[in-house]
């Protein structure tokens, strides 16, 4: 069998970042005087989500330390909807896989799926919140602001979503997804803000290299405004596949620590989830492996056309289906499963033509600084000043088990 020659490319991304996110967080908390209302012995819940975020354990530690200096007793609460299989143990394990533990943050992690219903939105959607967070003397919300993979709106992934969906556990995730995230998140957040004691939020913005670019520490009344402001900046800097059209996209790994949908639809194409205009424009998606940090949750596998036996054998069907049923069922469907990478690539090349197929290979949808493209895509690359050729064309190489090296 013959395979297209591949060329490695590097995208030029901005290197601007905050050198010490934890120290910057502490400085901004102190500057705003948001701790003045905290009393000695107050129990304060600090949220932690299921995403891999730059320096997140250090940032959480900074928040915890600031609370302790006021005499408070902070604890970490998982705020990740139905992720982690929708169980207390699963969510605890997911945080540990992200480096978020009592040892790293300085605060105990209190994981429970028990919720309290605070009320309903104007359309009748019940709004739930983690009982431990509700019973605390205050809640600090920490989250990254970025484009969502299931909807686009005024506010997407950020502080408001963590309050409305993340803290709502399985109950909140199911009801918010079923009734439409874009419509329900803002109103649900306002209801929680009215009924629960939100102290402040720590909003994080990452650059295209997944490093902290900016931090905002804000009171609850500025959550929506901050989400909207950081979202606009995120939309401008989000990394994307730099060539289009092509035929085959190879994704080395997917996972919950990479995106809520395993592969970010803003990168592989929003159309793969909901249809519409193809951007980027390609036909076949191959995904090769599932990250260990996903703990078997392959939510988003339904975006792919072809996958490997290795990936499918690593899936925890219960965790995957739990997540898919609270969001979109098709995201949990298993694609055509072949024995190894070589079999998947052979099938794709047989469909598109071995000599003519245009291929893009990425590590995952977070890490897009270095990619590989087939040699026949070089004319599209050479007109892009933001792309640097890193290697000569080399044939695809497989190991003895049929996997790409």
Band (157; pLDDT cuts 50, 70, 90): confident
Domain that holds residue 40: 33-237
Residues 12-35 pLDDT 10s? 887 789 999 999 999 999 988 888
Task: Using alpha carbons only, give the angle 280, 283, 286 rounded to the nearest 5 degrees.
Answer: 95
Is the residue at 405 inside a domain? Answer: no
The last residue of a domain, from among 197, 217, 237: 237
Out of 107-111, 124-128, 352-356, pick the least confident: 352-356
The last residue of a domain, from among 201, 218, 237: 237
Two tokens, residue 199? 């102290």
Kindly tell me if the per-residue pLDDT of 244 is higher than 70. Answer: yes
Residues 162 and 182 in one domain: yes
**Cα dist. 179→104, 188, 203 in Å?**
37, 11, 26
Out of 113-122, 306-315, 319-328, 369-378, pick the least confident: 319-328
Please give the tally of structural domains in the chain: 2
Kindly tell me if the per-residue pLDDT of 138 is higher than 80. Answer: yes
Band (144; pLDDT cuts 50, 70, 90): very high
Q: Which residue has the higher pLDDT, 254 or 293?
A: 254
Two tokens, residue 152? 């686009």
The last residue of a domain, from among 237, 257, 283: 237
Residues 270 and 190 in one domain: no
pLDDT value of residue 371: 95
Kindly tell me if the per-residue pLDDT of 156 is higher than 70. Answer: yes
Residues 296-346 pLDDT 10s? 999 999 999 999 999 999 999 999 998 888 778 999 999 999 999 999 999
Is the residue at 376 inside a domain? Answer: yes
Is-contact 357 247, C-beta < 8 A? yes
Is the residue at 21 inside a domain? Answer: no
Q: Which residue has the higher pLDDT, 400 or 382?
A: 400
Residues 327 and 308 in one domain: yes
Residue range 391-398: average pLDDT?
92
Residues 301 and 173 in one domain: no
Residues 257 and 155 in one domain: no
Is the residue at 22 inside a domain? Answer: no
Beta strands 126-130 and 198-206, pairing class: unpaired
Residues 224 and 368 in one domain: no
pLDDT value of residue 1: 74
Is the residue at 388 inside a domain? Answer: yes
Residues 193 and 157 in one domain: yes
Q: What is the pTM of this model?
A: 0.79
Is the residue at 402 inside a domain? Answer: no
Residues 210 and 279 in one domain: no
Q: What is the CATH number of the domain that holds 93?
A: 3.40.50.11440
Beta strands 336-338 and 306-308, pairing class: parallel
Residue range 214-232: average pLDDT?
96
Residues 218 and 260 in one domain: no
Is the residue at 213 inside a domain? Answer: yes
Is-contact 279 271, C-beta < 8 A? yes
Residues 162 and 304 in one domain: no
pLDDT value of residue 179: 64
Is the residue at 162 inside a domain? Answer: yes
Residues 46-91 pLDDT 10s? 999 988 899 999 999 999 999 999 999 999 999 988 777 788 999 9
Q: What is the mean pLDDT of the chain?
A: 91
pLDDT value of residue 383: 73
Residues 292 and 227 in one domain: no
Residues 108 and 230 in one domain: yes
Percent of the chain surpassing pLDDT 90: 70
């Amino acid at each position: 069998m013959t395979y297209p020659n591949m060329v490695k490319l590097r995208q030029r991304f901005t290197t601007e970042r905050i050198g010490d996110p934890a120290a910057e967080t502490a400085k901004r908390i102190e500057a705003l005087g948001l701790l003045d209302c905290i009393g000695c012995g107050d129990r304060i819940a600090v949220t932690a989500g299921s995403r891999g975020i730059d320096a997140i354990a250090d940032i959480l530690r900074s928040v915890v330390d600031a609370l302790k200096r006021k005499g408070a007793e902070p604890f970490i609460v998982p705020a990740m909807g139905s992720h982690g299989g929708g169980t207390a143990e699963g969510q605890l394990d997911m945080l540990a896989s992200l480096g978020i533990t009592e040892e790293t943050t300085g605060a105990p992690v209190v994981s429970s799926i028990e919720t309290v219903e605070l009320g309903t939105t104007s359309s009748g959607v019940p709004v739930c919140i983690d009982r431990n967070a509700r019973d605390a003397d205050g809640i600090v919300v920490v989250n990254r602001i970025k484009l969502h993979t299931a909807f686009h709106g005024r506010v997407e992934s950020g502080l408001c979503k963590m309050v409305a969906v993340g803290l709502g556990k399985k109950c909140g995730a199911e009801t918010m997804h079923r009734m439409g995230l874009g419509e329900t998140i803002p109103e649900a957040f306002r209801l929680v803000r009215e009924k629960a004691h939100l102290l402040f939020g720590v909003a994080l913005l990452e650059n295209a290299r997944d490093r902290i670019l900016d931090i905002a520490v804000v009171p609850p009344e500025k959550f929506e405004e901050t989400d909207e402001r950081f979202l606009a900046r995120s939309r401008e800097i989000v990394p994307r596949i730099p060539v289009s059209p092509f035929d085959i996209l190879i994704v080395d790994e997917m996972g919950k620590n990479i995106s809520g949908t395993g592969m970010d639809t803003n990168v592989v194409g929003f159309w793969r989830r909901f249809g519409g205009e193809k951007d980027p424009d390609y036909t076949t998606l191959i995904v090769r492996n599932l990250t260990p940090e996903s703990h078997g949750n392959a939510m988003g596998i339904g975006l792919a056309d072809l996958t490997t036996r290795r990936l499918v054998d690593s899936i925890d069907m219960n965790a995957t289906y739990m997540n898919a049923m609270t969001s979109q069922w098709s995201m949990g469907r298993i694609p055509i499963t072949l024995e190894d990478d070589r079999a998947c690539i052979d099938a794709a090349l047989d469909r598109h033509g071995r000599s003519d197929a245009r291929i893009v290979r990425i590590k995952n949808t977070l890490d897009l600084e270095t990619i590989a493209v087939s040699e026949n895509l070089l004319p599209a690359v050479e007109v892009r000043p933001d792309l640097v050729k890193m290697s000569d064309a080399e044939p695809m190489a497989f190991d003895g088990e049929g996997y790409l090296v």
